Amino acid sequence: MDHEKDSDELLSLMVTNAVAEIRHANDRQEMLNHHDCIAITERNKSVRWIPKKNIIKVTASGNYIVVHLMEEGKVRELIACRGLCHHEPVFREAGLLRLGRSLMVNPGYCMQLESGSQSVRLIDGSCEHIPRGKIRQVRDKITRAFSKQ
């Protein structure tokens, strides 16, 4: 009896491990298929793949972030779980600049750099303040973003 129970447990463990390996392989394949995207977990716990190039800016609000993105010519907002510090490495890799504790912007969507007021106007019409110590860095990144286009 004990031998049958042990073999059933072993079989169950092997099946569980096989399923986990398949899921991991599927996740890796999905990541490869979405190499130019960022996976964002929404408030309802569903995962949404967002093209990096569509992100205009990211604002933080407590343990949530609001991703402002361009989809089909319209600005949309996506509320996602976890704070900005959790997502920051991925957004930095996508080319976004951190302008403050609660803001990252995509230099490719900066329409105008207003030097007198130390702010940048984005394609969605918002005007975001640039901290004094980051003006040169932001100006250089915006200039590079426009030269690539």
Question: In the structure encoding, which two tokens stand for residue 11, read together?
Answer: 């079989």
For residue 68, the model assigns a pLDDT of 95
3-state secondary structure at position 121 = strand
Task: Name the residue with higher pLDDT: 57 or 146.
Answer: 57
How far is it, in rounded angstroms, from Cα 23 to Cα 28? 9
39 vs 18: CA distance, rounded Å: 25
Q: What's the Cα-to-Cα distance from 19 to each of 30, 31, 32, rounded to whole Å?
A: 16, 18, 20
Domain covering 34-148 assigned CATH 3.90.650.10 in the classification = no
pLDDT digits (tens, 9 = 90+) for 28-62: 455 445 678 888 888 777 888 889 999 999 999 88
Predicted confidence (pLDDT) at residue 112 exceeds the cutoff of 90? no
What's the pLDDT at 113? Answer: 81
If residue 118 lies in a helix (H) or strand (E), which one and from where to where?
Answer: none
pLDDT at 75 exceeding the cut of 90: yes
